[in-house]
Every structure is written in C-alpha cells, then in structure tokens.
Amino acid sequence: MSDLTDVTAPDAGALAEVETGGGPLAGLRVLVPRSADRAGPLLDALRRAGADPVAAPLVTIARPIDPAPMDDAAARLAAGGYDWVAVTSGFTVDSLEAAALRAGHTLADLLAAGRLANPGSTRVAAVGDATAAALARAQVPADFVPVALQSARGMLAEWPSTRLGATVLLPQSDLAEPTLSDGLAARGWEPVTVVSYTNRPAPSLPPELVADLAAGRVGAVVLTSGSVARRLVQQVALPATTLVCSIGPRTAEVAADLGLPVGVVADRPVPDAVVAALVAAVTPGQPTPPSGTGPATTLPAATLPTAALPTALAPSAPPPRTAPPPAPSPAPRSHPAPEPDPQVNPVIPDRRNRPRRLRTTAAVRRMVSETRLRPADLVLPLFIKEGLTAPHPIASMPGVVQHTRASLRTAVEQAADAGLAGVMLFGVPLVRDATGTGATDPHGILNLAIADAVAAADGRLVVMADLCLDEFTDHGHCGVLRPGPDGEVVVDNDATLDRYAEMAVVQARAGAHLVAPSGMMDHQIARVRDALDEAGFTDVLVLAYAAKYASAFYGPFRDAVESTLEGDRRTYQMDPGNRREAAREVAADVAEGADLVMVKPALPYLDVLADVAATSPVPVAAYQVSGEYAMIEAAAANGWIDRRRAIEESVLSIRRAGAELILTYWATELAGWLTEPTGSTR
C-alpha cells in the first residue's frame, strides 16, 4: 500500500540534468520495478546519485475490470455522500480523475460539488506527500496527510478524531490489505472500499536481467509493494549479497515473509528517501545510525550487504568503484543491538527533523502552544444556601463553600474581576417537597440569588442558573415521580417538563442570562425554549446538559447541595459506557434549540467531548465536576501531586479535547494564574 505509485508523474525534463559517474551510489546497478515511463522521478534521483538504474515492471497497473463501482462512488462524492475520501496512491488519483471525467467533471469540481451539497463533508486524506502532490496536480488540496509514517498504518495512527458513523470512501488497489479499512471501522468510522485499480503480474523479466539478478550483477533492488516482492521471488532467487531496499515497513514485512531479507527501508515512499536509504546502506563503515538521526533504517549488520558491493558493480560501470575500506572496528557495546520489533514502526526519521527544537525554551514553547486558556473560557459554579449567616465549608470539596447571599455577591464580583465567562448558580433550600416547589417560588433561594448575582455582576459576566429539581425535591430526583406498573418509582418525564417550563420562566424573571437544564429529561430543551419564548424571554440563552452521564464523580456535589437522593439516576442520566449515544443527545438538544451543549463530567469523558466538539454546530461546554475537583485536592493535600500543575493540566486537557467553555470550581483561582505575567499555564 505504501507504494511508489506515489511518484508516477512522468517528468521528462528532469532527465537532462542527470549526471553519471560520481555520486554516493557510483556504479551501483539498481532494479526499479516499474516501466520507464512510470518510474521517471526515481530513475532520475538514482542517476543523480551516480547509480545505474534498470527499469523493468514486475506488476502492471490497470483499470478496474468493472468501472461501475467507481462511477457510483463518484456520483455519491458529488452529492456530498462521504465525509472523507482517503487516497492511498497516485494511481487512485488517476482513477478518481478518470471517473470524474466520465461523469463530465474534473475531480476538483466533483469534490467541490460534494462540499457544497453537504458542508463539512468530502474532506480529502492523502497517504503521503507524493500522493498529496498528485492530488495537488489535480487541483485538489489534501486536508490530511500523515506526518510520521506515510502508509496505511501511518494514516490510521494519525487519522483525525473519531466521528461515529462518518463515512470514508477508500478507493484502492484490488490487492490492498484491509489495514486501513478495518482500522477505521474499529474506530467507529464507516469505510466504503472500492477497487480503483488492479495489480496484475507483468510479463516475465527479460532473461538477461534474470541472469544478472541471479548472479548478483544487480547490486540493489527496490521493492515498491508486496505484490512486486511476490512477483520478483517467483522469477529469480536473489543472492544474499543483493541489497533489497523497501519503500516502507509493510512492504519489508511482506518481503521478509517471502524469504527476501530487506537490507534497508526508506523512511518515506518518495524517490529522495529511497536514494538516501540506499546511500546509508552502501556507505562503507557507516554503522546503523543512532535512533532519530538517520535518514533511513538500516537493518541489522548481519543482513547489511556491504560485502556485496563489488558484485554490485556492472563490469563496465565508469568509474570503477574501489573496494570498500575495512569497516572500522565497532565501538564496544555494553548491550547487544536490539532486534527490530516488527510491531514497532522501524522508521528512523530524517536527522533534520528534531521536534525537540520547538521545546527548547519557555518562550519558544509559548509561541507554539496549540491550546490556550483564557479566563473567559471559565465558568465558576457557586452554591447558595437558604438561611446561612456565614459561608459554610463543604467537607468533601475543600476550598468550596455554601454561600450566604452576601458572600455570593462577593464571589460573583471576584469572578467578574478575574475575567471569567460566567457563574453557574445552584440553590440549597431549607424546605423540600415532592414537586420541588421552592424552585418555582420567586422568593426561593435560587431565584433570590440569581437577582443578587445579576446585580453584582453588573453586566461583566453571564449569570447562569442550574435548571433542575434535585436540590428542591424531598426525594432528591431531578423530576417529579409517579408509581410504575410494578409499584416502583418512576421519574415522570412529561410531568417534569411542566415543572422545568415554569422554573425557566421564574429564573428568567429573576434576571438569569442563561438557564441550564441539567435533568436529562427528553425534550427538556424544546419545552424550556418554548416557555421562555412565550413569556417574552427570547434572548435568554439555553445551555443544554446534553451528554450528562450517571457518574460516581458527582459524589461531593451531593454533599454540597445536601442531596437526599436514595438510589441513582440511571433511568435518565447516560450510561458511562455509551459514546455513540452522546451524539444522539447532542443532536436532539441542538435541534430543540440549545444555544450551547455540555458534556459532563469532563476528564473521564474526553473522548465524548472530542466527538461532540468535532461535530457540534453550537459552542461546547464541559463540566469538571465535584469528584474531579475532590480527587486533585485530596491528592495535593497529601503531597502526592503538585496542586497547581495538576489543576492547570486537567483544565488545559479539557480545553484541548475541544471544550470552549469549562465549568470548574477552580475558575477564579485559575484565572488569576492565567493572567500572571509569567504564568506557567500557556
């Protein structure tokens, strides 16, 4: 699959520049398994290095026997029917272009039509730089190209974040291995494979070439795919002295399985990397380059065919290569050279490529940091308890208190001074009943606190109110109850919606800028939106707790609100194992008019958060909940972790996963660190 198909563009002009004679590969005869018209750039690169390449095709590439599947794929592409198209070779670019032309378009127009029909769809992935270049020649920019390893495996390793159920068109060779398609499917994508070209054994190699290969008169052989390796071993038994160069690790594995030991693997499937690999392998005395600095992987010394060099020379090759000097005795090693692990990417990257350069100083790190946090990304949750005369500490949340009305105003002012986006208010009433009457009492504690907070904020931040009944009901559930068929207790979805609708209007009348339904009732967003609109509060925002899981991490919060809940909330909050379901909840809430959606808890659900962030059309919030807070505080109090660094890293990670807004009990303190002149958080 990682195939020099990637270098097929014939580039006739370059031939003129070619020197022969000198160069690091002087005199080395190299079999290039391609017809001369398909191998142009590799032949040129080899000649420039002094080699004497011999082009002979081992497989021929042909159109698919049945063009209909490609035509169907093209039609669906034009309709925006694929989220991605993954292009794994230059041949596939040709095949896509041909299918587009059969439909009367260029490939670029076809893809543009797809994106227009379905915004966000029809993104293009290329397996490597050369395929991306082939796409670019067709006026198609690649949206994604793997960096580390340019092969099916590398593509999979770096494939953009998972989106459940999203489709990927995979036009590929009839012999393509299922690596990419299986790997994408395992990650929740829907790959659609279509044969874009076929690989057929080429006619036998000319007898003279077979004789030269068998006698070791061809010093090196380039393998561009597993099928090339297979066809080669069918026709000739290479002597152990012939240097076999693979364009990628997967082809090397196939060759090894065929009994063809590969001496060197190019770090990229492009001509320059093949030449660099050959140079590294034939340069006398050059030991296996230390990890991270070599241009290519040279395999263990025993298989390095440096001894083969004299026979590698064509007898007439000018100028004759002198025998290599004896290799310097290797430095004593304390450990034997490690065996290459076939499971591990054996590529040693180019020595010019040093990622650590971007980490050398704090100033450089700051310059290139990908994730930045601002106070305006943070929301502070606050608890207000009815009848308190002094703030009351919450044992399981050290540093967090239940506020009095006065201390709440101060906390809101501090939050505004710190530049926070907002505060989220939770009320703790003195009296609770079956339907949570306190929630809809204009003089209930939460509604009084909303008015206080709005006054204290003075327009400098968004005052948000938790819209849920659990703090107000005597049973502690988020809704009202009815008996079920077997006498069990059921949280009544639709009766609860009536309560939420009323509560939303009361909160809006108290001045809330935003209400946040957190009860996970079906249709709660639609109902709340309609109630607000009917009461004239069309500008009050709705933040939907869209993907809220039935989590053990809410434990300390239940202390904070003195929850009376017995049992659990598993009939309305989500099952922690469910990821796909989050997409459904988010889609429903967005359709019902949510202005923002939330994932909760945060750190244990970063995968869900990343999914939602990748697809949500509205801003995404995440709630770093009480248990997440308590864990870090407890570990820090024991001296087990660095409190500030753990706080910064945890919130930064939530931001990195895609949250635009983060609810965290550390919001004010963290905002202070963020605005320190030399703050350690980037």
| Separation CA 278–CA 348 (nearest Å) | 14
Q: Residues for the chain: how many in total?
A: 682
| Separation CA 607–CA 3 (nearest Å) | 33
**Torsion (CA) 403, 405, 410, 416 in degrees, nearest 10:** 90
CB-CB contact of 513 with 484 (8 Å): no
Residue tagged active-site, from 217, 432, 475, 548: 548
CB of 558 to ligand PBG, least distance (A): 6
Nearer to ligand PBG, 195 or 506 (CB): 506
Instruction: Give the CA count within 13 Å in the CB-facing half-sphere of 173.
Output: 22
Nearer to ligand PBG, 169 or 465 (CB): 465
Measured N-to-C along each axis, helices 643-656 and 667-674 cross at an angle, to the nearest 10 degrees, of 90
Token duo for residue 393: 């500490």
Choose one: 113-121, 198-206, 210-218, 463-471; the region binding ligand PBG (CB under 6 A).
463-471
Beta bridge partners of 675: none
Query: What is the dihedral sign for C-alpha 181, 183, 185, 190?
Result: negative
Burial, 273: exposed, middle or buried (Cβ in 10 Å; 0-12, 13-18, 19+)? buried
- 408-437 mask for ligand PBG (x: CB under 6 A)? ------------------------------
- 252-291 mask for ligand PBG (x: CB under 6 A)? ----------------------------------------
Residue tagged active-site, from 230, 385, 600, 655: 600
CB-CB contact of 604 with 631 (8 Å): no
Among 135, 450, 468, 630, binds ligand PBG (CB under 6 A): 468
Looking at 263-373, list the stretches that DSSP marks H as alpha helix, in order from N- to C-terminal side: 271-282, 309-312, 362-368
Nearer to ligand PBG, 289 or 604 (CB): 604
CB of 504 to ligand PBG, least distance (A): 14
CB-CB contact of 464 with 419 (8 Å): no
Q: Does the annotation mark 548 as catalytic?
A: yes
Looking at 60-89, list the stretches that DSSP marks H as alpha helix, in order from N- to C-terminal side: 68-78
CB neighbourhood size of 374 (10 A): 13
Nearer to ligand PBG, 189 or 554 (CB): 554
Distances (CA, A) of 514 to 366, 439, 462, 517, 599: 34, 16, 7, 10, 17
CB of 451 to ligand PBG, least distance (A): 20
Nearer to ligand PBG, 50 or 381 (CB): 381
Among 447, 496, 518, 615, binds ligand PBG (CB under 6 A): 518
Is residue 661 a contact residue for ligand PBG (CB under 6 A)? no
The site for ligand PBG, by CB under 6 A, has a size of: 10
CB of 522 to ligand PBG, least distance (A): 16
CB of 517 to ligand PBG, least distance (A): 9
Among 466, 585, 589, 611, binds ligand PBG (CB under 6 A): 466
CB of 518 to ligand PBG, least distance (A): 4
Nearer to ligand PBG, 28 or 516 (CB): 516
Three-state DSSP at 201 gives strand
Among 82, 500, 557, 605, binds ligand PBG (CB under 6 A): 557
Is residue 554 a contact residue for ligand PBG (CB under 6 A)? yes
CB of 555 to ligand PBG, least distance (A): 7
Nearer to ligand PBG, 122 or 624 (CB): 624
Choose one: 7-15, 218-226, 268-276, 466-474; the region binding ligand PBG (CB under 6 A).
466-474
Instruction: Give the CA count within 13 Å in the CB-facing half-sphere of 386.
Output: 17
Is residue 626 a contact residue for ligand PBG (CB under 6 A)? yes
Choose one: 75-83, 253-261, 270-278, 464-472; the region binding ligand PBG (CB under 6 A).
464-472
Is residue 625 a contact residue for ligand PBG (CB under 6 A)? yes
Distances (CA, A) of 175 to 268, 525, 594: 21, 51, 48
Q: Does the annotation mark 600 as catalytic?
A: yes
Beta bridge partners of 383: 402, 426
Positions annotated as catalytic residues are 548, 600
- Tell me which residues touch ligand PBG (CB under 6 A): 466, 468, 470, 478, 518, 554, 557, 569, 625-626
